[in-house]
């Protein structure tokens, strides 16, 4: 008599646990299908099309490596590849140099949580302005009659306006540094905020100067933040084209700009080759950065 | 940490850093009050005026400077952002809910979703354009561009909801289940009200990101331009202060959105506190 209810209860429990173990898959399915169809498939398609035959106005699905050969034989494309890597390295270094002291201040020196949060919010508010407007805002700053030249002339630092500020590689680097450095500040400040203050006090009590404390304690402990920031900045800078188009006067051509112009002239296969090259560079960069620190363990 | 010399130096540096972040926008805002139509997009200010703001609303007599082609784009961008917000938030809540249980393949699914926010717009945009071309699908902002906007914003919604569910107390749901409330009703009556502040944050993320999205839209939308595309189109030709005025207005719009979010957020927090007080009483 007692056995019967127990078995039904177990059966019910089994059925419900069965149902529950299937629930995550049902919940996750729409999202996964969406990502496979509209993220993975397009990337695969790009790889596939890079091997198609390009004629003047159309592409045909006849496999060939001709677009690849053209890419690596062309000075324009290789130049764009080199420019992309160079700008990426410069901007990465610049965002780190510009961002680190701010992160140090916010994460380590401001011990009041509210003030630290307020400072980070101040850093994020400019993101509420459209990306394109933020890029464009550098034109009246850097131009020959721009704000920076006017200020420099008023302070008698220069007598002639500096021409080289706008529509050069420098203007692209300045613009990108300003737009992306916050992605460096955030993660680093987060990691610095988690450092136990007694660790630093102990080092100080033992007679270490700030330089030594920074080198042996602060910087190593902030490294996961640097890596996360570097991944954000790298991926975004490598995929850039709008800043270069708006601030360089078409003098700086990144791989992203090559893709845009090739698509504009219906050279789909070349655009796809440039896209695949960009994907490979990004993959290598992110993998290399992830090897620097074991993020799963550190975060 | 007490470093008597270093702290003020870093404080001054941080102030300069903020100036670096805000400087260009301040200059842009000042120049938006340039006189028109002859005043250029640079200093000096010939005469302070709201000419370019009136220009945006078509209130000025016709001049040689064409008005910004933004009104259609604005409607499209708002509609697109709204569609994206709804779909991404629903997908984000569902996926994060799934991650509350351990399941095989969860690691792969996590990276697949996060990939959506990491892969640059140029690449997915190009891939989608190629895909649409070879299947003979017309590219439209409400079709190909819309699915990419979801690919981009859904990971943000997912991560926000994941963080919310991490701090969520599952015993409340279990209490409802043990009282015989079916799971669907439990979600509507117990879980959803509790995660609502998170849902609101996810929606804010999705809306602002989609509204401002540019690279993906450039490749994946057809001839009808969204707002960022219309703005990008004006870059190639000579720029005028009307685009600065437009920048100021969109920034104010976005900040207003942020304000509404803050109000809704504090309201829902206050309601939660009231419920708590009632329960205790």
**pLDDT at B10 exceeding the cut of 50:** yes
**Is the CB of B228 less than 8 angstroms away from the CB of A38?**
no
A111, pLDDT greater than 50: yes
Residue of chain B whose Cα is closest to the Cα of A196: B1
Kindly tell me the number of DSSP H helices and DSSP E strands found in chain B.
12, 0
- Pairwise CB contact (< 8 Å): A275 & B122: yes
- Name the residue among A46, A140, A246 with its Cβ closest to that of B127: A46
Return residues 218-237 of A near B (CB < 8 Å). Answer: 235-236
A32 shares contact with chain B (CB less than 8 Å): yes
Residue of A nearest to B132 (CA): A42
A260 CB near a chain B CB, below 8 Å? yes
Distance, first Cα to last Cα, chain B: 44
Q: Is there a contact between A109 and B10 if contact means CB atoms under 8 Å apart?
A: yes
Of A105, A197, A235, the CB nearest to B14: A105
Inside any domain, residue A143 = yes
Question: How high is the ipTM of this complex?
Answer: 0.89
| Partner A contacted by B221 (CB < 8 A) | no
- B-contacting residues in A 187-216 (Cβ below 8 Å): 197, 200-201, 210
**Mean pLDDT over residues A79-86, rounded?**
95
- Calculate mean pLDDT across residues B9-25: 95
- Chain A residue at shortest CA distance from B120: A239
Confidence of residue B280 (pLDDT cuts 50, 70, 90): low
Counted across chains A and B, CB pairs separated by less than 8 A come out at 239
C-alpha span between B247 and A133 (Å, rounded): 6
Mean pLDDT of B9-19: 95
Write the pLDDT tens digit of every residue in B252-272: 988 898 889 889 888 887 877
CB-closest option in A35, A128, A134 to B116: A35
Cβ contact, residue pair B24, A35, below 8 Å: no
Whether A130 sits inside 8 A of B228 (CB atoms) is yes
Distance CA A10, CA A20 (A): 15
Does position A202 have pLDDT exceeding 50, yes or no? yes
Question: Does the pLDDT of residue A7 top 80, yes or no?
Answer: no
Chain B 227-246, CB below 8 Å of chain A: which residues? 228, 231-232, 235, 239, 243-244, 246
Task: Please judge whether A136 and B20 are an interchain contact, meaning their C-beta atoms are less than 8 angstroms apart.
Answer: no
Q: Measure in Å the smallest separation between the Cα of A78 and chain B Cα atoms.
A: 19
Residues of B in contact with A45 (CB under 8 A): 127, 130-131, 134
User: In sequence order, which residues have a C-beta less than 8 Å from that of residue A229 and are 6 or more positions away?
Assistant: A95, A96, A99, A183, A184, A185, A186, A187, A188
Range of the domain at A278: 65-298
3-state secondary structure of B39: coil
Q: How does the average pLDDT of chain A come out, rounded?
A: 89
Nearest-Cα distance to chain A for B171, in Å, is: 16
A142 found inside a domain: yes
- Which chain B residues are closer than 8 Å to A141 by Cβ? 23-24, 27
Distance CA B170, CA B166 (A): 10
Determine the Cα angle at B250 with ends A142 and A119, to 5°.
70
Tell me which chain A residue has its CA closest to the CA of residue B227: A130
* B63 φψ region: left (φ > 0), alpha (ψ -120 to 50), beta (else): beta
CB count in 10 Å sphere of residue A275: 31
**CATH superfamily name and code, B71-280:** MetI-like (1.10.3720.10)
Of residues B41, B212, B218, nearest to A130 (C-beta)? B212
Contact present, B224 and A124 (Cβ < 8 Å) = no
Which residues of chain B does A80 touch, with a Cβ-Cβ cutoff of 8 Å?
Answer: none
Which of A19, A26, A27 would best serve as a mutation to test chain B binding (most B beta carbons within 10 A)? A27
Q: Do A43 and B123 touch (CB under 8 A)?
A: yes
Out of A112-116, A251-255, A273-277, B68-72, least confident range: B68-72
Q: 3-state class of B135 per DSSP? A: coil
CA distance A213 to B161: 38
Bridge partners (DSSP) listed for residue A53: A60
Report whether pLDDT(A145) > 90.
no
CA dist., res. A48 & res. B19, Å (int): 47
Contact B27 A197 (CB under 8 A): no
Q: What is the 3-state secondary structure (H, E, C) of chain A?
A: CCHHHHHHHHHHHHHHHHHHHHHHHHHHHHHHHHHHHHHHHHHHHHHHHCCCEECCCCEECCCCCHHHHHHHHCHHHHHHHHHHHHHHHHHHHHHHHHHHHHHHHHHHHCCCHHHHHHHHHHHHHHHHCCHHHHHHCHHHHHCCCCHHHHHHHHCCCCCCCCHHHCCCHHHHHHHHHHHHCHHHHHHHHHHHHCCCHHHHHHHHHCCCCHHHHHHHHHHHHHHHHHHHHHHHHHHHHHCCCHHHHHHCCCCCCCHHHHHHHHHHCCCHHHHHHHHHHHHHHHHHHHHHHHHHCCHHHHC
Report the alpha-carbon distance of residue A102 to residue A226 in Å, rounded. Answer: 13
Q: Give the range with max mean pLDDT: A126-135, A269-278, B34-43.
A: A269-278
Tell me the C-alpha distance between A275 and B145, whole Å.
18
List the one residue out of A193, A134, A102 whose CA is nearest residue B17.
A102
CA dihedral B73, B74, B76, B79 (to 10 degrees): 170
Residue A41 lies inside a defined structural domain of this protein: no
- pLDDT tier at B281, thresholds 50, 70, 90: low
Identify whether A179 is part of a domain.
yes
CB contact under 8 A, B250 and A129: yes
Distance, CA of A144 to CA of A163 (rounded, Å): 6
Beta pairing, strands A59-60 & A53-54: antiparallel
Q: Which residue has the tokens 């209810």?
A: A5
> Which 82-141 residues of chain B touch chain A by CB within 8 A?
91-92, 94-95, 97-99, 101, 103, 106, 109, 112-113, 115-116, 118-124, 126-131, 133-134
Q: What is the DSSP letter of B32?
A: T
Interface residue B13 vs chain A (CB under 8 A): yes
Six token digits for residue A237: 């800078």
Burial zone of A283 (CB within 10 Å; 0-12 exposed, 13-18 middle, 19+ buried): exposed
| CATH number for the domain harbouring residue A113 | 1.10.3720.10
Stretch B102-111: mean pLDDT? 90
- Residue A1 pLDDT level (bands cut at 50, 70, 90): very low
Q: What is the pLDDT of residue B153?
A: 96
The more confident residue out of A59 and A260 is A260
Number of domains in chain A: 1
**Alpha-carbon torsion (A16, A22, A28, A34), positive or negative:** negative
| Partner-chain contact B99 A133, CB within 8 Å | no
Q: Residue A24: inside a domain, yes or no?
A: no
Instruction: Judge whether A52 lies within some domain.
Output: no
Residue identified by tokens 């506190």 is B273
- Kindly state the helix (H) or strand (E) to which residue B252 belongs, with its residue range: helix B241-280
DSSP category for residue B139 = P
Residue B262 has which token pair?
């803050």
Give the start-to-end residue ranges of the domains of chain B. 71-280
Alpha-carbon distance values, B54 to A115, A177, B69 (Å) = 39, 34, 14
Instruction: Output the average pLDDT for chain B.
Output: 89
Report angle CA A263, A267, A270 to the nearest 5 degrees: 95
pTM to 2 decimals? 0.88
Percent of chain A having pLDDT more than 70?
92
Going B260 to B261 to B264 to B265, the CA torsion angle's sign is negative
């Amino acid at each position: 008599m007692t056995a019967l209810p127990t078995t039904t209860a177990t059966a019910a429990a089994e059925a419900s646990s069965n149902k529950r173990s299937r629930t995550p898959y049902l919940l996750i399915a729409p999202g996964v299908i969406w990502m496979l169809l509209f993220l993975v498939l397009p990337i695969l398609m790009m790889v596939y099309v890079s091997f198609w035959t390009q004629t003047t106005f159309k592409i045909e699905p006849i496999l060939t490596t001709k677009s690849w050969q053209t890419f690596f034989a062309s000075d324009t494309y290789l130049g764009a590849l080199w420019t992309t890597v160079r700008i990426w390295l410069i901007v990465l270094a610049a965002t780190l140099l510009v961002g680190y002291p701010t992160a140090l201040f916010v994460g380590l020196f401001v011990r009041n949580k509210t003030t630290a949060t307020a400072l980070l919010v101040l850093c994020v508010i400019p993101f509420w302005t459209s990306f394109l407007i933020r890029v464009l805002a550098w034109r009246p700053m850097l131009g020959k009659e721009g704000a920076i030249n006017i200020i420099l002339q008023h302070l008698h630092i220069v007598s002639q306006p500096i021409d080289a500020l706008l529509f050069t590689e420098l203007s692209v680097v300045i613009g990108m540094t300003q737009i992306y450095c916050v992605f460096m500040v955030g993660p680093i400040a987060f990691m610095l905020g988690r450092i136990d203050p007694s660790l630093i006090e102990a080092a100080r009590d033992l007679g270490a100067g700030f330089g030594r404390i920074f080198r042996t304690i602060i910087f190593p402990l902030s490294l996961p933040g640097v890596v996360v920031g570097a991944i954000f900045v790298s991926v975004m800078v490598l995929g850039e084209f709008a800043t270069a188009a708006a601030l360089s006067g078409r003098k700086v051509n990144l791989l992203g700009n090559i893709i845009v112009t090739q698509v504009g002239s219906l050279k789909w296969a070349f655009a796809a080759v440039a896209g695949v090259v960009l994907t490979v560079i990004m993959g290598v960069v992110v993998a290399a950065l992830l090897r620097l620190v074991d993020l799963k363990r550190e975060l | 940490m007490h470093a008597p010399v270093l702290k003020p130096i870093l404080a001054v540096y941080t102030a300069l850093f903020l100036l670096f972040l805000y400087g260009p926008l301040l200059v842009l805002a000042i120049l938006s009050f340039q006189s028109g139509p002859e005043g250029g997009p640079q200093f000096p200010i010939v005469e302070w005026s709201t000419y370019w703001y009136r220009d945006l609303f078509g209130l000025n007599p016709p001049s040689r400077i064409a008005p910004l082609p933004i009104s259609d784009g604005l409607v499209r961008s708002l509609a697109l952002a709204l569609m994206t917000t709804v779909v991404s938030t629903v997908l984000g809540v569902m996926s994060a809910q799934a991650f509350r249980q351990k399941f095989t393949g969860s690691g792969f699914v996590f990276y697949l979703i996060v990939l959506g926010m990491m892969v640059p717009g140029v690449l997915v945009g190009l891939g989608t354009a190629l895909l649409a071309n070879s299947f003979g699908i017309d590219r439209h902002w409400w079709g190909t561009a819309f699915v990419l906007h979801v690919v981009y914003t859904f990971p943000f919604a997912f991560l926000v909801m994941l963080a919310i569910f991490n701090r969520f107390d599952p015993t409340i749901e279990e209490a409802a289940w043990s009282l015989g409330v079916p799971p669907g009703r439990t979600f509507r009556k117990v879980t959803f009200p509790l995660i609502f502040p998170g849902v609101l944050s996810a929606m804010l993320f999705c809306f602002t990101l989609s509204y401002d999205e540019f690279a993906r839209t450039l490749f994946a939308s057809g001839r009808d331009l969204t707002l960022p595309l219309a703005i990008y189109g004006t870059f190639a030709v000579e720029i005028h202060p009307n685009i600065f005025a437009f920048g100021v207005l969109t920034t104010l719009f976005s900040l207003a959105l942020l304000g509404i979010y803050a109000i809704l957020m504090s309201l829902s927090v206050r309601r939660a506190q009231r419920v708590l007080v009632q329960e205790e009483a």
